[in-house]
Amino acid sequence: MSTLLAVVHADDLGMDYADHPSDRRRHQLAVALAREAGVLSAPGVAVVPAPPPMADEVLATMFAPAFIRAIRMFSAHPVLAAAPEARQWGVTGDVHPYAHMHRDAARLAAAARLAGGMVGGGGALRAIVPAGGAHHGLPYRMNGFGVYNDTAVAIHALRAAGIGRIAYVDLDVHHGDGTQGTFWNDPHVLTVSVHECGRYLFPNSGFPDETGGPDAPGSAINVALPPGCGDDAYRLAMEQVVGPAVRAFAPEALVSQCGVDHHHADPLSHMRTTMALYPDLWSALGRLADACGGGRWVALGGGGYNPCNAPPRAWAMLMAEMARTPLPSQMPVSWPGIARAAGCPDPASGWCAEPGFVATPGGEDAAMDGARAAIAEARAASPLLG
């Protein structure tokens, strides 16, 4: 195998909702930073152009044909999203349906399918879709900011390539409800989600008692962290839940959703993580892939709604981890100019720089107590960890 890491990318990949937190600069800047840092020119790394949109007949092997037709209709006539019947398909004004919504979502699905197929078929050991990570959608409706759930598509692609057991790890601050729901009754797919508790945050799910369907007991694990958790809470969840569960499940490949919207500067959550956490998260995932799947690993981006802060640096770090190549100790000298050209007024001065971050004395301690309780609940509910 000559390709260690395939980076499936195009600057115009992803959704293009108007006036919306989803911003293509997140993955554009991540890939630009990885390029400037030398990651994309490292041995065994290939940048693979994102493919054309997935054909309807291929989408229909994973998503309900009526749902696909509905998304096509709302893309052709966005004004219809205001009609009450749109709700059955998950179409709401929150996502500002637009003329090319189906095309963009189908192209993102195609990118995830390509990444999964390359890893499953032996074309690459690892693959990443920085623009991916839409994890809320179900086979019959959209949800959250996503239309066709590309994390589920990546898993389907691995299965189609002959990979029998897959572990899916979701680190987005929002529960990976759509992917969990898609594989709820599938004993060959383990879904593990570490997220802010649904009592406080969309999609209001992901509680410890959600453990899988009748034919797949224990196939879902949820760590529902309280608001205010920081780096140590996530490290503990990886150490005590994610790692042991994945190893016990013994998958043949790992799929991860690597949202960084738990970063303290993110506008859509209440968490307190910092840039120092992300190398530890990605390293832990890499070790799991090596230990359980022969190194096979498909990663997708995910949440991160301050496009100039955490996502570019975190996902460049992720690509370096997947490529098994070190980052330079200093940010590339070209980075400030690239970031400012993209509309970022104060580019980060270092990989883990956190200007303006102020620890709240006592706050992290209280959150850690809640995190330990959430981790204990997740462990108690899981047959893999009992």
Residues labelled catalytic: 136
- Side-chain-facing half-sphere of 117: CA atoms under 13 Å: 11
Taking residue 218's Cβ as centre, other Cβ atoms within 10 Å add up to 18
| Residue 212 region by backbone torsions, left for phi larger than 0, else alpha for psi between -120 and 50, else beta | left
Could you tell me the strand order of the sheet in which 253-257 lies?
45-49, 5-9, 126-129, 297-300, 253-257, 166-170, 189-196, 220-225
Indicate if the alpha-carbon torsion angle 106, 112, 116, 119 is positive or negative.
positive
Q: How far apart are CA 343 and CA 78, in angstroms?
A: 29
Q: How far apart are CA 311 and CA 291, in angstroms?
A: 27
**Cα–Cα distances in angstroms (integers) from residue 99 to residues 11, 36, 93, in the given order:** 19, 34, 14
* Residues, the chain: 386
In the chain, at which residue ranges do the beta strands (DSSP E only) sit?
5-9, 45-49, 126-129, 166-170, 189-196, 220-225, 253-257, 297-300
Q: H-type helices in 238-272, by residue range?
A: 243-249
Between helices 310-323 and 25-36, what is the axis angle to 10°? 50
Q: What is the 3-state secondary structure (H, E, C) of 80-93?
A: HHHCHHHHHHCCCH
Mapping DSSP to helix (H, G, I), strand (E, B) and coil, where does residue 252 land?
A: coil
Mapping DSSP to helix (H, G, I), strand (E, B) and coil, where does residue 169 land?
A: strand
